[in-house]
Amino acid sequence: MAKPTDEWFGQAFGKAWKDKAEEIGRFNLAIFGKTGVGKSTLVNAIFGSEIAKTGIGEPVTRAEHLYLHQSGTLGVLDTRGLEVGRDNATLIAELRDYLHGMRRKPLADQLHVAWYCVRAGDRRFEATEADFVRALHDLGLPVILVLTQVPRARGRVHPDAEALAASIAALDLPIQDGLIHYTMALADDFTAQTAYGLQEVLDATFRGAPDGVAHAITAAQRIDFDRKRERAEVAIKAATGAATTAGASPIPFSDAAILVPVQIGMMASIAVTYGISLERSTAASIAATAAATTAGRSLVTNLIKFVPGAGTAVAAPISATVAGTFTYAMGHAWMRVCERLARGELGPVGGVLDSDAVKRVFLEEFKSQAGRRKLSS
């Protein structure tokens, strides 16, 4: 069998990545509030800056003032040139039209949730804003109400913000869980404000959105790594099971790829869940697997030593347990790589990938996971 090249692997991984991204689909968020209250800042804090970089977004067909930004697993619908409160009728009419046009489209094209933002410092919430929130609800959108830029001191939010929240709560609006969320999306060193409240907004978003887009939200957001880990564990478990089942047939460990399609699919799924771009995750996956393949037979032999039952007979057919353990360790090692990538720790996001660091992190975690599973089995 020919030695698999990086090119072959990159193509296989890339295809798997695209398939996974397609399967996970897209979460579409609509964001409203008066000009400058901090809508973009909030979206960026929770979902990363990719969306902001895409600029003004694509104008929505047949709607003059709606713009859709799409990037991978996230879509954000924004408005231009209209002010909530002043132009409610036009805005709602355009939205209704848009939602109507989407009705027969797949879930990934629908709007799923709306955030309505009010800046705490404005100290007011107008009757027309309340009308707008009710209208959103009537259009079938779950509305999450967010107070933005809420100062906090000594563990307490600003009393004016509390007063504002109380006055909004008194309106008994149809909002998600009846909750008004206090947030600070960006830290401010000068006034010693730290960012907070983002996880609560994200949790509410999960509760409001249909189950079918939960994976897309998990992939798109960048603050809740527990949720990413949970999804990744599911992919690892499935792949480990499949590899164990397939373990009776020999996995070509010597010259051919260590990675069978099951493992490529698993790695692609984890990469998408962590929001690692196609280009970056392909490069990282080549580096990671290079650590296990092209680094040479001796390295592979050493790796296999960490897998119970494998011995050093690298080219020999391996048992179901070994195939499972290998896949399990590989999944966890790759998950660690993806988490570090998502945090910008293996070369800055958008910058040059540190391949050596990827290899190091991968191998270290692989060995530790294979050893751990050995102990527990």
The site for Mg ion (CB under 5 A) is made up of 39-40
Give the pair of three-digit tokens for residue 58: 């694509």
**CA–CA separation, 275 and 282 (whole Å):** 13
In angstroms, what is the minimal distance from the CB of 163 to ligand GTP?
A: 19
In angstroms, what is the minimal distance from the CB of 69 to Mg ion?
A: 10
Residue 36 contact, options Mg ion, ligand GTP, none, Cβ 5-8 Å cut-off depending on partner type: ligand GTP
In angstroms, what is the minimal distance from the CB of 38 to Mg ion?
A: 8
Maximum Cα interatomic distance, the chain, rounded to a whole number of Å: 75
**CA–CA separation, 232 and 302 (whole Å):** 26
Residue 247 contact, options ligand GTP, Mg ion, none, Cβ 5-8 Å cut-off depending on partner type: none
In angstroms, what is the minimal distance from the CB of 201 to ligand GTP?
A: 12
Measured from the CB atom, is 201 or 219 closer to ligand GTP? 201
Closest residue to ligand GTP, based on beta-carbon distance: 38
Q: What phi, psi does 242 have (nearest 5°)?
A: -65, -40
In angstroms, how far is the first alpha carbon of the chain from the final one? 33
Measured from the CB atom, is 4 or 33 closer to ligand GTP? 33
Closest by Cα among 54, 82, 78 to 66: 78
Measured from the CB atom, is 185 or 202 closer to ligand GTP? 185
**CA–CA separation, 299 and 234 (whole Å):** 29
**CA–CA separation, 9 and 307 (whole Å):** 23
In angstroms, what is the minimal distance from the CB of 137 to ligand GTP?
A: 21
Measured from the CB atom, is 149 or 273 closer to ligand GTP? 149
Residue 138 contact, options ligand GTP, Mg ion, none, Cβ 5-8 Å cut-off depending on partner type: none
Q: Which amino acid is at 280?
A: R
In angstroms, what is the minimal distance from the CB of 185 to Mg ion?
A: 12
**Which residues, other chains included, contact 229 with Cβ-Cβ below 8 Å and sequence gap of 6+?**
335, 339
**CA–CA separation, 321 and 118 (whole Å):** 56
Q: What phi, psi does 169 have (nearest 5°)?
A: -60, -35
Residue 73 contact, options ligand GTP, Mg ion, none, Cβ 5-8 Å cut-off depending on partner type: none
In angstroms, what is the minimal distance from the CB of 157 to ligand GTP?
A: 13
Angle of helix 261-273 relative to helix 320-342, nearest 10 degrees? 30
Residue 289 contact, options Mg ion, ligand GTP, none, Cβ 5-8 Å cut-off depending on partner type: none
Q: Which amino acid is at 209?
A: A
Measured from the CB atom, is 37 or 264 closer to Mg ion? 37
Residue 26 contact, options Mg ion, ligand GTP, none, Cβ 5-8 Å cut-off depending on partner type: none
Measured from the CB atom, is 76 or 284 closer to ligand GTP? 76
Pair 250, 284: CB distance under 8 Å:
no
Pair 176, 143: CB distance under 8 Å:
yes
Binding stretches for ligand GTP (CB under 6 A): 33, 35-41, 148-149, 184-186, 188
Residue 38 contact, options ligand GTP, Mg ion, none, Cβ 5-8 Å cut-off depending on partner type: ligand GTP
Measured from the CB atom, is 4 or 75 closer to ligand GTP? 75
